């Protein structure tokens, strides 16, 4: 998962966070001792192995849903990088520890900061506790996440990334059109060199104006009843 699961976080810290979270959620998950419910005809050892595998699957699904929220913001930066010419400049993204374009790395850092500012970690902890209501710890689901919910979640992340990058992409497209007209009207102008400067200035200006929109999206995504909880409920609720 982003932030907590980053390789830059020491392994002992990650193990400690997982153990602390498991201890805090113990009153929610503990059930009557004995054979796990919903596993007729399966041995005790095999039953607990299947239940452990189910919990791993649920954890991966939840981490993937959180990752998609960050990916939407990062994709918005990537889509804005290409028309502005920043796609040629790569920096290290500390969350995913990969090379990313300039604005994509900025958006990734912004999303990580807003995740804590908007108390997204509180919403995530509540979602982890709520997942044991959607999928009780002592029973196996009939199957994995439904394909429709997976496609809807992925499409929602992609659509959000496109919408967040739309102002910068639209201004860059408009600037290209204007520079094309100027190249026809005044052939002496070096459109290739001038166009880069004009698009960078306009793009960064629009990006500055659109920052409240990006902040609002992340706040709504991680807030109560936001995209994250909606996606998690669709993915985990469909596994029941």
Which H, E and C letters describe 80-131, residue by residue?
A: HHHHHCHHHCEEEECCCCEEEEHHHHHHHHHHHHHHHHCCHHHHHHHHHHHH
Handedness of CA 179, 182, 184, 189 (dihedral sign): negative
Is pLDDT of 5 > 80?
A: no
The answer to whether the CB of 220 falls within 8 A of the CB of 69 is no
Encode pLDDT of 127-175 as tens digits. 888 888 777 777 666 666 677 888 888 888 888 888 888 888 888 888 8
What are the φ/ψ torsions at residue 233 (nearest 5 degrees)? -65, -35
pLDDT on residue 6 = 66
Residue 35 lies in a domain: yes
| Bridge partners for 118 per DSSP | none
Is pLDDT of 41 > 60?
A: no
> What burial class does residue 129 get, using C-beta atoms within 10 Å of its C-beta: 0-12 exposed, 13-18 middle, 19+ buried?
middle
pLDDT on residue 9 = 75
At 35, is the pLDDT very low, low, confident or very high (cuts 50, 70, 90)?
Answer: very low
What are the φ/ψ torsions at residue 93 (nearest 5 degrees)? -85, 115
Residue 174 lies in a domain: yes
Residue 3 lies in a domain: no
Domain boundaries, position 111: 11-237
Residue 5 lies in a domain: no
pLDDT on residue 144 = 63
Tokens for 80, please give them: 């804005």
Question: Average pLDDT, stretch 222-237?
Answer: 77
Residue 2 lies in a domain: no
Question: Average pLDDT, stretch 68-85?
Answer: 82
Among 8-22, 23-37, 224-238, name the most confident range: 8-22
Residue 4 lies in a domain: no
Q: Specify the DSSP class assigned to residue 38.
A: T
Question: How many separate domains does the chain show?
Answer: 1
Encode pLDDT of 78-96 as tens digits. 888 777 777 666 666 555 5
Looking up tokens 């796609």 gives 87
Residue 6 lies in a domain: no
pLDDT on residue 31 = 53
Encode pLDDT of 165-218 as tens digits. 888 888 888 888 888 888 778 777 777 777 777 888 888 888 888 888 888 888
Tokens for 210, please give them: 């659109």
Residue 56 lies in a domain: yes
């Amino acid at each position: 998962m982003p932030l907590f699961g980053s390789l830059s976080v020491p392994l002992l810290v990650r193990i400690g966070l997982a153990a602390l979270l498991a201890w805090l959620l113990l009153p929610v998950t503990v059930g009557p001792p004995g054979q796990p419910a919903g596993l007729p005809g399966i041995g005790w050892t095999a039953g607990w192995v299947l239940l452990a595998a189910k919990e791993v699957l649920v954890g991966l699904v939840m981490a993937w849903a959180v990752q998609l929220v960050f990916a939407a913001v990062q994709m918005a930066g990537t889509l804005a990088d290409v028309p502005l010419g920043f796609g040629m400049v790569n920096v290290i993204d500390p969350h995913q520890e990969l090379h990313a374009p300039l604005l994509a790395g900025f958006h990734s850092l912004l999303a990580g900061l807003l995740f804590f500012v908007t108390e997204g970690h509180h919403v995530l902890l509540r979602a982890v506790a709520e997942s044991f209501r959607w999928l009780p710890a002592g029973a196996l689901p009939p199957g994995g996440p439904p394909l429709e919910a997976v496609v809807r979640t992925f499409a929602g992340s992609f659509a959000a990334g496109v919408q967040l990058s739309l102002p910068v992409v639209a201004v860059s497209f408009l600037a290209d059109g204007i520079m094309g007209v100027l190249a026809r009207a005044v052939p002496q102008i070096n459109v290739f060199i001038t166009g880069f400067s004009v698009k960078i200035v306009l793009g960064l200006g629009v990006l500055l104006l659109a920052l409240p929109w990006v902040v609002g999206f992340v706040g709504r995504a991680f807030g109560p009843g936001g995209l994250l909880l909606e996606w998690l409920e669709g993915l985990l609720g469909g596994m029941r």
